[in-house]
Amino acid sequence: MSSTPRALAQAARKFAATSIVTIPQVAYTGMHVSSSHARRAILQQMTYYRHSHKACRALHVIASQAGGFATVSVQEAAKMLEEGWSYIDVRTPGEFSQGHPPGAVNIPVTQPDSRGGMTINEQFVASVEEAFPEKDTNLLMGCKIGQRSAMASQMLQNQEYINLANVAGGFDHWSGNGMPIER
């Protein structure tokens, strides 16, 4: 199968219509796509599917099955929260206190260092494992613009968490799109 955006969009539509998942391959109504190809599709081409909630969810399943994590829009994230996903906000406590998605749990991935900069929070993974011990928990990851949460998603993926979705644009897009906020 070609990895052109058009071919990926066609595959996503077929998958969304049938919702057939097999491990380690994803069945697309008679076509088989390897897990590595599916992972590339979700990580590199997600923008082509943002208009379709069902296709996004289907591609998130592919990414999870393939050992990757998805990147979802704030609209998708809001729907996923309604479906019972947990939201980990990896911003600093100061950023978190200024506003966050409803029900978000603050577990900072970075912390201030002695020079006034930021460094990786060495307790991040342990804190997530304490709060969410089941590695198959559905976790949305968010920060200010999406970069720290992508790094945090990768860290959790390396610890065998399998249902991860990074929120594209982070809290800036969340608040900018009128999504609900808690303080």
Query: Active-site positions?
Result: 143
> HSE of 132 in the Cβ direction (CA atoms, 13 Å)?
25
Q: What is the DSSP letter of 182?
A: B
d(CA 28, CA 10): 10
d(CA 39, CA 80): 20
d(CA 171, CA 162): 23
d(CA 31, CA 29): 6
* Diameter over CA atoms, the chain: 57
d(CA 91, CA 110): 7
Yes or no: say if 104 and 74 are a contact pair by the CB < 8 Å rule.
Answer: no
d(CA 153, CA 68): 9
